[in-house]
A and B are shown apart, each in its own frame.
Chain A
Amino acid sequence: MRRLLLLVPLVWLVATLTFFVVQAAPGSYADTIDNPRLSAETRDAIRARYGLDRSAGAQYVSWLGAIATGDLGTSFLYKEPVSRVLSRALPPTLLLAGSGLLLTMLLGLILAVTAVRQPNGWADRVITILSLGLYGVPSFWLAGMLILVFSVSLGWFPASHMHSVDAGRLGSLAYLADLLRHLFLPALCLGLVGAAGTARYLRASLLDVRASRFMLAARARGIPNRRLLLVHALRPALLPVVTLLGLSLPVLVSGSVVVEAIFSWPGMGQVAFNAARARDIPLILGATLVGAAAVILGNLVADLLYAVVDPRSRGER
């Protein structure tokens, strides 16, 4: 609880820092509007309309005052309340990043456990090379290749967006199937890239645990190999992965900008990207606040999971 309270000033600090960084950047929203017929007077009028002609300090104070009453302001770009823009973008991102994370953990776990069944055996070698390869591959490139193979050549999955154009007329089951088909490629892309790192981590920590004395003792008690690996070794080996999981929550909420951009997924990453490009200060700050909140939650979740996985850490708090 004390830690939770301590994080309130941290969020404020992050938001304040972001505010002044955005202020320090050259240009403002009025300069990013791409219309050559816009006269200098009109741009000045736009600046005044959004209160951008005031000093940075005055803008900051009025923004902070609004925040205190729970008002995130109105987005310059979308001409809508920031809270509405964010609450529309958050569910798609949670869906995509959540499935991506699930795939990451599942694939990573399967790969790592298969690999350490026989260290330096052929399966281990193949998996090591595979995960090293996936680790090095940039996600935007992998996304392109997945589209090329699964959408263009095979035509199995759609390459972009969350729904088909006629999704509104589909029945609820068909609607869900349509959504899942759209979800598959972006989630796979996130999952494959993430699984490479997880598998590398988990394999190393499984091997470390295998060498420990309690494993030798367990083996001596005649516990079968399978149970030894899946029950005795996996639990302590999951510790670093749990930390990884907690750290990935901010990404879960802020969205993978790259994957969302390539697959035209209407999530937080896209919103944040557009906001930054348009100097949409209220929206940038709103997205930052959500991101900072996610960081806090991520740390908390990691702590809680730590307690589940590692009984030793329970007593300390």
Chain B
Amino acid sequence: MFTPRSIQSSFSLSEKIFSIDYILFFSIFLIGVISCFAQYSSSGGELDYYSKSHIVRFFIFFLLFIVISFIQVRFWYQSSYVIYFLFFILLLGVKYFGLVSSGSQRWINLYIINLQPSELMKIGVILFLSKYYHRVSASDVNRLKFLLLPIGTLLFPFFLVVTQPDLGTSILILAGGIVVTWLAGVRLKFFTYLGILLVSLLPIVISFLKPYQKARILTFLNPDRDPLGAGYQIIQSKIAIGSGGLFGKGFLNGSQSYLDFLPEKHTDFIFTLFSEEFGFIGSIIILFLYFLITYRIVSVGHATRSIFGKLYCYSFATAFFIYVSVNMCMVLGLLPIVGAPLPIMSYGGSSMLSIMFGLGVVMSCKIYKDTPVN
């Protein structure tokens, strides 16, 4: 019996493969491969613990991404709340059983893997709110009653992460959530109120900030304040990028990184390393790939019929773009150093897991673009 594709809810494997967004697929793969080389270079041109585990992780999570893509989008819609609560419980778990590392409590030991639930929460919040606003009718969106739940789902994880303390991730969680609510049609005035609320909460937030975080913000305002201390990272990062010039110093030839002038070169400053070795041309290629990924996610959202799919894809695309641009602005000295990884490129399992999971759901939206979610 023939069923029109529009209402079909399960496809054969070949149909699934056929309807994948190949530009998105290969852009992700390409970034992933580039990231493996970048990590290899970051390890001083050898396959050490960092570069090896990054490569292994990328291929595992890329498989996961394919698997998630092939699962019906309806499943992701239905389990959105569950996923959010699962992540929330993990986040609470960090608060009580978390591992302390370099002054902050961000990780939880799950026996197989040390997980950073705050990274997962970035996606959890978007999933939750997409489903929520899928269900709220257009007329109710701006009613205060319907605003309380989104505010709650945002602020609880936000405060949990801020007090870890992890300013960067908490801001990114908040940003993702705000994007969903904005797209869902919540009026500007509520965001203004939220802004006022946050500003009035600022003194409290500042009291939670560790001295090093305060120093970072002051340093961002004036990097030469303490060139060997807090300003060191920004200055060295700018030197690395700038000295790369048009064509870069060549693969494995980034002197700033292999002589250890570059801090956190595996994680937050991986773009700096790449930029030093491949110059302006290389940086533009990376920038273009990220732009392409964002653009394809948006077009998946455009093609998806369901409000959930649209909200999720648009929000995820925007969040993804924010992650990328916050990281780049940070290493380029346009934003304070807050600790935000570059999606896919940066070393870090949880960040990679969360991004690949999010991308998987996007791809699922693409494959099941015409299938109603409820």
Partners in one complex: no
CB within 8 Å of B: which residues of A?
none
